[in-house]
């Protein structure tokens, strides 16, 4: 065999898995279609929840990977211009999340894996897994010079995101997929404008808006828009006037807008997350909305369960973890899907003028967070990352 595990994809899922396997003494090769600069520069998620932080710490990667990230403090949910604060880490029993932009996480995971002698091959084209349902799977690819390579292995980890080749290698009749469109449009702009004191979400009849720090001098703003509209055509002054209205802040400091993007608010799950010797992890198996910031954390917890299961199988011949892998990951996936949907409804429907009944339900849900310590603790527990389902 050329290696024990071929990992397809060097995003948060694949790189976490590679580091965990390396630390567990299991050989692996990572095949990534893009070049290093592209992977290290890609900006997406930004929160490592407390549970995911514990996982890195368990593998001795805590200081290196998450250590210097600022810890989460209060969360402001501004309702009709009135500030309301939640001390999420305290409500979760002293379990803060950390702010670690995805590109930093990826850079650090690549650094630690390579420092440990890891085998990571960028610009791997036409990656194709073969014989996944047999005992001797192998993976072929072409390198940047066009030379074809073949790697034999015992396990293939499909960590290649939503559009990857791994999920597509499973016969369609073996998979059940679930998709959900939340019917919400989200427009995000990055601006050189001073960040808010605390991460800020604003709910009002004008629609949802949010503002988060992106370093000491910049903010990322989010604005709900009506599906059918194209906010990328909005003049900047229109964006700022909507933000002022929704954040209830006439004096909102403006700054040059340096990035504009439309965020898809959709959810997806593929079941099962395993077929033969192929195991899916991260976005290859599930997509969540950004509400609740669970996508990257789910990718990391998948990688954790998969690393444990492969290590037990490869080193001790114990396949119980692999047999339980898909079901364990899917329990958490659906739990987080529900949380993300619950959260999205609460902050978007609470502002909707169109449906008075749903609006009142969403307000009741939001108010409950500030009135019931039990409701607040349940929310904070999900924000911190819930306990593992036992594989
Ligand atoms: N061959 C090799 N590599 C591939 C292929 C392929 N055919 N297709 C995709 N890739 C690579 C991509 O270039 C990317 O680097 O796989 C990687 C997948 O990374 P992500 O899409 O970031 O997925 P994942 O690692 O599961 O991370 C998921 O992180 O961005 C957050 O919240 C976001 O939920 C998301 C989470």
Structure confidence by residue, pLDDT tens digits, 326-338: 999 999 999 999 9
Band of residue 101 on the pLDDT scale cut at 50, 70, 90: confident
Give Cα 13 to chain centroid, integer Å.
Answer: 9
Burial class of residue 303 in the structure, from the number of CB atoms within 10 Å of its CB (0-12 exposed, 13-18 middle, 19+ buried): buried
Angle at alpha carbon of residue 139, lines to 135 and 143, rounded to 5°: 165
Distance (angstroms) between ligand 1 centre and the Cα of 319 equals 27
Give residue-wise pLDDT tens across range 210-264. Answer: 999 888 899 999 999 988 889 999 999 999 999 999 999 998 999 999 999 999 8
Distance (angstroms) between ligand 1 centre and the Cα of 30 equals 12
157 lines ligand 1 (CB under 6 A): no
Give residue-wise pLDDT tens across range 122-137. Answer: 999 999 999 999 988 9
**Residue located via tokens 């499909």:** 158
Q: Is the pLDDT of residue 74 over 80?
A: yes
- pLDDT given for residue 389 in this prediction: 62
Task: For 196, list phi and psi in degrees, rounded to 5.
Answer: -75, 165
Give residue-wise pLDDT tens across range 185-199. Answer: 999 999 999 999 999
Distance (angstroms) between ligand 1 centre and the Cα of 381 equals 27
Q: What is the mean pLDDT of the chain?
A: 95
- pLDDT given for residue 391 in this prediction: 47
Determine which helix (DSSP H) or strand (DSSP E) holds 88, and give its type and residue range.
helix 88-91
Interface ipTM above 0.95: yes
Rounded distance between C-alpha atoms, residue 160 and residue 239, angstroms: 35
Average pLDDT of span 334-363 = 91
Rounded distance between C-alpha atoms, residue 38 and residue 103, angstroms: 10
Domain ranges of the chain: 5-72+94-180+266-353+374-384, 185-263
Task: For 190, list phi and psi in degrees, rounded to 5.
Answer: -105, 130
Rounded distance between C-alpha atoms, residue 57 and residue 114, angstroms: 19
- Percent of the chain past pLDDT 90, that is, above it, reads 87
Q: Is the pLDDT of residue 390 over 60?
A: no
- Percent of the chain past pLDDT 70, that is, above it, reads 99
8 lines ligand 1 (CB under 6 A): yes
Average pLDDT of span 57-76 = 91
Q: Is the pLDDT of residue 68 over 90?
A: no
Distance (angstroms) between ligand 1 centre and the Cα of 361 equals 37
Average pLDDT of span 133-155 = 96
Domain spanning 185-263, CATH architecture: 2-Layer Sandwich (3.30)
Alpha carbon of 85 to those of 77, 80, 96: distances in Å?
6, 14, 15
Superfamily of domain 5-72+94-180+266-353+374-384: FAD/NAD(P)-binding domain (3.50.50.60)
DSSP 113-156: HHHTT-EEE-S-EEEEEE-TTSSS-EEEEE-TTS-EEEEE-SEE
Report the atom number in ligand 1 closest to the C-alpha of 164.
8
Check residues 31 and 99 and name the one with the higher pLDDT: 31
**215 half-sphere exposure, CB direction, 13 A CA radius:** 7
- CA-wise closest residue to 103 among 34, 198, 188: 34
Report the atom number in ligand 1 closest to the C-alpha of 141.
1
Rounded distance between C-alpha atoms, residue 257 and residue 220, angstroms: 10
Token output for 215:
């370093």
300 lines ligand 1 (CB under 6 A): no
Please report the sign of the dihedral spanned by the C-alpha atoms of residue 237, residue 229, residue 343, residue 380. negative
């Amino acid at each position: 065999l050329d290696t024990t595990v071929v990992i397809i994809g060097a995003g948060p899922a694949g790189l976490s898995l590679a580091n965990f396997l390396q630390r567990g003494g299991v050989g692996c090769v990572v095949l990534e279609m893009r070049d290093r600069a592209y992977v290290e520069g890609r900006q997406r998620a930004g929160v490592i929840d407390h549970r995911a932080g514990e996982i890195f710490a368990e593998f001795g990667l805590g200081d290196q990977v998450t250590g210097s990230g600022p810890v989460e403090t209060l969360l402001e949910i501004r309702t009709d211009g009135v500030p309301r604060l939640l001390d999420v880490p305290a409500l979760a029993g002293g379990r803060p999340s950390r702010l670690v932009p995805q590109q930093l996480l990826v850079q650090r995971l690549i650094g630690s894996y390579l420092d440990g002698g890891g085998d990571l091959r960028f610009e791997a084209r036409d990656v194709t897994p073969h014989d996944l349902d047999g005992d001797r799977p192998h993976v072929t690819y072409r390198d940047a010079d066009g030379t074809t390579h073949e790697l034999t292995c015992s396990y293939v980890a499909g960590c290649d995101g939503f559009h990857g080749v791994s999920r597509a290698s499973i016969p369609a009749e073996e998979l059940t997929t679930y998709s959900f469109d939340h019917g919400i449009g989200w427009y995000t702009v990055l601006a050189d404008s001073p960040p808010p004191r605390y991460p800020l979400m604003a709910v009002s009849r004008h629609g949802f808006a949010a503002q988060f720090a992106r370093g000491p001098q910049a903010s990322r703003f989010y604005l709900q828009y009506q599906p059918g509209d194209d906010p990328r055509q909005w003049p900047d002054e229109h964006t700022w006037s909507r933000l002022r209205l929704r954040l209830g802040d006439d004096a909102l400091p403006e700054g040059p807008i340096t990035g504009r993007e439309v965020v898809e608010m959709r959810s997806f799950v593929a079941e099962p997350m395993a077929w033969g010797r192929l195991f899916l992890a991260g976005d290859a198996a599930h997509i969540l909305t950004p509400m609740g910031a669970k996508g990257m954390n789910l990718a990391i917890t998948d990688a954790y369960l998969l690393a444990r299961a492969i290590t037990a199988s490869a080193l001790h011949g114990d396949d119980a973890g692999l047999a339980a892998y898909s079901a364990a990951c899917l329990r958490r996936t659906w739990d987080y899907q529900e949380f993300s949907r619950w959260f999205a409804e609460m902050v978007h429907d609470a502002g909707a003028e169109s449906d008075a009944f749903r609006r009142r339900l969403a307000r009741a849900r939001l108010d409950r967070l500030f009135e019931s310590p039990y409701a607040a603790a349940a929310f904070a527990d999900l924000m911190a990352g819930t306990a593992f389902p036992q594989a």
